[in-house]
Amino acid sequence: MISIIKSPWVYIPALSVLLVVVLIMVVGGEKDQNIETELLSRYNIEQIVTETGVVDTRQSVTLSFEKSGRVAEINVAEGDSVSANQVLAYLDDSAERSELRSAEARLEDLLAGVSVTGEASALARVNSAEVSLESARRNLLTSGLEAHFTGDHIEESVFSYEPPTVSGTYTGENEGEYIITLYRSGSQSGYSFNYSGLEFGVGEVSTQTQKPLGNKGLYIKFPNNFAKGSQVEWRVQIPNSRSANYTSNRRAYEQAKSARDQAVAEYKLAIEGARPEQVRVQEGVVDVVRTALERTRIRAPFAGVVSRVVVSRGEFVSVGVPAIDLMSDDGYEITVYVSEADIAELSFGDRATVRLDAYRDDVFEAEVVSISPRARRVDGISSFETVLILTGDDPRIRAGLTGDVDISVSRAENVFAVPARAIVIEDGKRLIRVAQSDGSLKNVEVTTGLRGIDGRVEITGNLSEGDEIVTFIR
């Protein structure tokens, strides 16, 4: 829980305070009262909001590779300083480099006017590339097909939620999905299914034999004691992006498609000769391959310090998996969560002091730069995320350090102030009891202002400096 922590230091000048304990006889009785008093003095009152926060860099990012592959080299270690655009790590790029050399060589041939092999040979390569592309496409669309449950799961159901088995070779042209729902029917199993998405139709639920799922080469068979009811829904995604082989199959398909397109371009070149637009097309191919090569690298988006290296050399990584964490080196901030009871006091630009747990004897300066417009629940309390920039350039400050933050929200100088317990409330009025020379007490109505971190409260009223104020009656 975010706590309101009293600051262990006070910002009030050490003006003289005289505590006098006197005994006053109560009118009409013999009983004495012990009374604590002090002389009314002026103070500087500072209202502080205190919270605990965690230091972080002003800019940080988790970097990952844009394509899957095996890590060939990591050029940095934790704690290394790096410059913007520096290559931090790269994947095995032998295939991309080979493709780039071929693309650049074809471009040079076009520019030099070198003749390409005969029409028959070029056509044979086109036919071969088409066969390879179709094989890669069928493998992509059909490999690892499976049904995934997407309906409302019934807890403690007596039925099995084991997915039905999907088999066959998908012969359709489009990617997408089949959505399967069940309904009661006169079939042998007592149920049939509707399918929608890539195709629309109905089929018979069978636990014995494979039944057609549409008219594009797929079949489906349900398990014994299959889940029944209108809430049951299965989806068959084509291709199956959850399959373990999906990434490699997709890459093989894209490579086969690129090879087919290149074969077609070479065939056109063989029968037509190089034209300016063909040169431009090949220049585009070179650019695409160079981009694919660049995607095997991780570059630093800004200058900073490497805070973590997650991957290892030789490891196979997938797209988007965290690889390297990078922190900027242009300053630090500390984030605190201010309760709704205190948030109205805060403003942009409020100054603050920070005492880090690692350096309790030192004070660091900070400034409020961001206050969230929306509260969030923190340990059950509505709180507002508030960000402060640590000013100055102290090498001891590091991300992850925790500390207490005292935000100065208001200040009143040279004002009368008394301990909070000196103020009493009667009939809705705030009163100060002033000891008189004859031993009696006089009630003086006051208006209260700021409350300092030491518990003193600013007051105004018909009072004079040096008045003897009652602070406590035992």
Q: Mind listing the pLDDT tens digit for each residue in 161-172?
A: 889 999 999 999
Angstrom distance (rounded) from CA 83 to CA 304? 7
CA-based nearest residue to 59, from 322, 320, 333: 333
Q: Evaluate whether 456 touches 12 at the Cβ level (below 8 Å).
A: yes
Per the listing, tokens 């934790």 go with: 78
Q: What is the mean pLDDT of the chain?
A: 84
DSSP state of 12: S
pLDDT at 272: 67
The values of phi and psi at residue 362, to 5°, are: -115, 150
List, for residues 91-140, the tens digit of each pLDDT value: 999 988 999 998 888 888 777 654 545 677 778 889 999 999 999 999 99
Same fold, 1-58+331-474 and 60-93+296-328: no
pLDDT at 268: 77
pLDDT at 343: 87
Alpha helix segments (H runs only) across 67-164: 94-112, 119-142
Give Cα 94 distance to the centre of its chain. 34
**Which has the minimum average pLDDT: 72-86, 325-339, 353-367?**
325-339
Q: Evaluate whether 58 touches 389 at the Cβ level (below 8 Å).
A: yes
CA-based nearest residue to 385, from 373, 399, 402, 403: 373
The total of other beta-carbon atoms located within 10 Å of residue 76's CB is 19
Q: What DSSP string describes 59-77?
A: SEEEEE-SS-EEEEEE---
Mean per-residue pLDDT for 318-347?
Answer: 87
pLDDT at 273: 62
| 472, burial (CB in 10 Å: exposed 0-12, middle 13-18, buried 19+) | middle
Residue that wins the pLDDT comparison between 16 and 419 = 419
| 345, burial (CB in 10 Å: exposed 0-12, middle 13-18, buried 19+) | middle
Here the tokens at position 112 are 């030099």
Separation in Å, CA 12 to CA 233, 446, 453: 70, 21, 9
Here the tokens at position 335 are 């984030």
Residue that wins the pLDDT comparison between 449 and 70 = 70
Residues 6+ apart with CB under 8 A from 279: 107, 110, 111
Q: Report the percent of the chain where pLDDT is more than 90.
A: 39
Q: Where are the domains of the chain?
A: 1-58+331-474, 60-93+296-328, 144-242
pLDDT at 156: 55
- Per-residue pLDDT at 252 exceeds 70: yes
Q: Evaluate whether 199 touches 214 at the Cβ level (below 8 Å).
A: yes
**Which has the minimum average pLDDT: 151-160, 299-308, 375-384, 444-453?**
151-160
Q: Evaluate whether 207 touches 182 at the Cβ level (below 8 Å).
A: no
- Per-residue pLDDT at 13 exceeds 70: no
- Per-residue pLDDT at 9 exceeds 50: no
pLDDT at 58: 78
**Which has the minimum average pLDDT: 86-90, 149-153, 348-352, 396-400?**
149-153
Here the tokens at position 233 are 């829904």
| 389, burial (CB in 10 Å: exposed 0-12, middle 13-18, buried 19+) | middle
pLDDT at 341: 82
Alpha helix segments (H runs only) across 201-341: 246-272, 276-294
Per the listing, tokens 């039905």 go with: 164
Here the tokens at position 62 are 């988790």
Element (H, E) at 235: strand 233-238
Fold of 60-93+296-328: OB fold (Dihydrolipoamide Acetyltransferase, E2P) (2.40.50)
pLDDT at 179: 95
Here the tokens at position 160 are 């099995």
Q: How confident is the model at residue 90 (pLDDT cuts 50, 70, 90)?
A: very high
pLDDT at 155: 55
Q: How confident is the model at residue 282 (pLDDT cuts 50, 70, 90)?
A: confident
Angstrom distance (rounded) from CA 233 to CA 218? 18
List, for residues 51-69, the tens digit of each pLDDT value: 899 998 877 889 999 999 9
Angstrom distance (rounded) from CA 443 to CA 252? 91
**Which has the minimum average pLDDT: 28-32, 260-264, 396-400, 450-454?**
28-32
Residue that wins the pLDDT comparison between 288 and 158 = 288
**Which has the minimum average pLDDT: 189-193, 270-274, 388-392?**
270-274
**CATH no. for 1-58+331-474:** 2.40.30.170
Angstrom distance (rounded) from CA 210 to CA 263? 40
Q: Evaluate whether 116 touches 264 at the Cβ level (below 8 Å).
A: no
Mean per-residue pLDDT for 268-297?
Answer: 82
